[in-house]
Amino acid sequence: MATETLYVAILLFESTSSAPDHRPLYREDIVTLRARSLRSARDRAERHGRAAEISHMNQAGEEIKDRLLEVVDVAPALDETDTSPADLYSRHFRDLTSYRRFDPLLDGEAL
């Protein structure tokens, strides 16, 4: 019987509102899961993301929807030991300016 490996998945969500001035907000979740193969881990990550989708009315009577847009990546965890801290995932990029534009928290923008 194959053992389960610890994987890290990156899930991309979109939050929308029926409010006329709403700008979509995107969220990246990084989750860990165990699976017997990369394909199984990707399937499990997608099921997890779909289960996290919500739709509700806020206090102003506007419909808020969070939906999974994409499973961006699934990879074996860099470290499977139960230590603190533990390196789980590493991502590489070439354009720091685009990265800063991409993440509003880096420029101090409130969500």
Structure confidence by residue, pLDDT tens digits, 13-29: 999 999 888 888 888 89
Q: Which of residues 38 and 105 earns the better pLDDT score? A: 38
What letter represents residue 50's amino acid? R
**Cβ contact 6:77 at 8 Å:** yes
Tokens 């101090």 locate to: 108
Task: Indicate the pLDDT class of residue 1, thresholds 50, 70 and 90.
Answer: low
Any idea where the domains of the chain sit in the sequence?
5-107
- In degrees and rounded to multiples of 5, residue 7 shows phi and psi of -120, 160
pTM for the model:
0.79
Task: Supply the pLDDT for residue 99.
Answer: 75
> What average pLDDT is seen over the chain?
87
Q: Which of residues 101 and 30 earns the better pLDDT score? A: 30
pLDDT digits (tens, 9 = 90+) for 26-67: 888 999 999 999 999 999 999 999 999 999 999 999 999 999
